[in-house]
Each structure stands twice: as C-alpha cells, then as structure tokens.
C-alpha cells in the first residue's frame, strides 16, 4: 500500500507539473497573438512636427528612456510611435488644434511590433484626478515599436485631418501641411469647427 501511495503521489505531481507547463505555453501564445496594434489607428501631433514629418515623408519615433515610466523589458531597445485606438482618445481630447493622422494598423502589423499601453493608469483613481485633468480618461494607446528612429509616413497613412484656430502663424503652417500631404497623394481634410475635427466628421469640411 505504501508503494502504491508513493506511485500515485509521483503521478499526481507529474500531472500538476504538466498542467502548469501547458498553462505557460497557452499564456505565451496569447501574448504572441495579442502583440500588435488595432486595424485603424489615430496619431495626433502639432503643426510643426506634422509639417516636418510630411516634408520628409517619415514619422519620427520617441525613445523609451525619454519618458518617466518604465517600458516593458521585452521591448527594450525599440523606438516607438504613440497612437490611439479611438479618434476620441483621451490624449488629444483637450487639444484646441492640430493634426490627426489616420494609420493603417493592419499594414503596420505586417512589419512592426506593437502593444497597448496604459500610460495614465496612475491618474485614473478619483484621488489622483484633478479638475479638468484628462489623464483620468482612457488614452486607448497603441504603441508602434521599431528598431529604427523613423518609419515611412505615406506608406501607412490613410488620411490626414487638420484644424487651426484663427491664428495667422498656425493657419500658414496648416496650408503648408495641406500642400505637403497633397504632394504625397494623401487625402487631407480641413475643418472649420473643432468639434467636427475631433469627431472626424467629413460631412462638414472646408474646401481643400
């Protein structure tokens, strides 16, 4: 009987180890499958940066060490481009003007890695959130990762949406942005109303 109990114990221990190994395999597969970005992405930026990107036909990426939080160690050594999965993402919801690039996430997934990031997680509690602080909202960020500091712009850009307040300098730069986008044959839409711009409401556009 003692020998039988020992054998049963050994078998049960083996089964438990096998189950644990299978769970780890499944988890790794899930991470591998989930690694990537959404099919449609939105990238907000200011006028000067947008103009530089369009003139040079590249997106300039950021370095992980340039931000205060710790990036996933699995992505150490990568540059990244911040995008959102929604046109109403929290990051650009309070912007008064700017440029929104609509990107082809499916095409980006064919060459680049990506991951969702909750950069504002620590601000989402009622204790941390201050009045008018949009960091308590969901940024819905997808980060595109690359080993190089730049990625092609026109190849992955489906369309561009621009809006400027009645400021001469901003409007002058905006017109240069429109001309640069047209040169790259990227559809560009200009808005006269900030609400329509944020919602990308193409039914109400300025003539471009």
DSSP at 66: G
Contact present, 105 and 38 (Cβ < 8 Å) = yes
Q: In degrees rounded to 5, what are phi and psi of residue 47?
A: -65, -50
Contact present, 144 and 81 (Cβ < 8 Å) = yes
Model-level pTM?
A: 0.72
Here the tokens at position 140 are 């819905």
Give residue-wise pLDDT tens across range 77-127.
789 999 988 887 656 667 788 999 999 999 999 999 888 876 544 444 444
Angstrom distance (rounded) from CA 27 to CA 58:
35
Q: What percent of the chain has a predicted confidence (pLDDT) above 70?
A: 62
Angstrom distance (rounded) from CA 132 to CA 130:
6
Q: What pLDDT shows up at residue 158? A: 97
Q: What pLDDT shows up at residue 74? A: 57
Give residue-wise pLDDT tens across range 6-55.
455 565 555 556 555 544 443 333 333 345 778 899 999 999 999 999 99
Q: What pLDDT shows up at residue 126? A: 45
Q: What pLDDT shows up at residue 96? A: 85
Contact present, 87 and 38 (Cβ < 8 Å) = no
Label residue 135 exposed, middle or buried (CB < 10 Å: 0-12, 13-18, 19+).
Answer: middle
Name residues whose C-beta falls within 8 Å of residue 60's C-beta, 6 or more positions apart in sequence. 49, 52, 53, 149, 150
Helix, strand or coil, per DSSP, at residue 186:
coil
Facing residues of 114 across strands? Answer: 144
Angle between helices 47-56 and 168-183 (to 10 degrees): 20
Q: What pLDDT shows up at residue 207? A: 57
Q: What pLDDT shows up at residue 25? A: 41
**Confidence band for 68, pLDDT divided at 50, 70 and 90:** very low
Here the tokens at position 178 are 């429109």
Q: What pLDDT shows up at residue 203? A: 79
Render 173-185 in DSSP notation, one character per residue: HHHHHHHHHHHTT
Give residue-wise pLDDT tens across range 133-183.
444 445 578 889 999 999 999 999 999 999 998 778 788 999 999 999 999
Here the tokens at position 112 are 């680049």
Contact present, 87 and 161 (Cβ < 8 Å) = no
């Amino acid at each position: 009987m003692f020998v039988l109990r020992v054998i049963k114990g050994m078998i049960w221990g083996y089964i438990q180890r096998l189950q644990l190994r299978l769970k780890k395999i499944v988890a790794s597969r899930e991470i591998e499958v989930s690694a990537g970005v959404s099919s449609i992405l939105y990238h907000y930026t200011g006028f000067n940066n947008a103009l530089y990107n369009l003139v040079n036909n590249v997106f300039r990426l950021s370095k992980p060490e340039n931000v205060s939080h710790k990036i996933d160690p699995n992505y150490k050594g990568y540059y990244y481009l911040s995008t959102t999965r929604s046109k109403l993402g929290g990051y650009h919801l309070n912007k008064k003007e700017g440029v929104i690039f609509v990107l082809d996430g499916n095409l980006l997934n064919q060459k680049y890695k990506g991951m969702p990031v909750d950069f504002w997680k620590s601000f989402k509690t009622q204790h941390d959130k201050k009045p008018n602080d949009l960091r308590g909202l969901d940024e819905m960020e997808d980060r595109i990762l690359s080993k190089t500091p730049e990625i092609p712009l026109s190849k992955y850009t489906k369309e561009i949406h621009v809006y400027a307040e009645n400021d001469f300098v901003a409007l002058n730069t905006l017109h240069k942005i429109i001309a640069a986008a047209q040169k790259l044959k990227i559809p560009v839409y200009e808005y006269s109303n900030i609400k329509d711009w944020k919602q990308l409401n193409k039914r109400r556009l300025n003539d471009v």
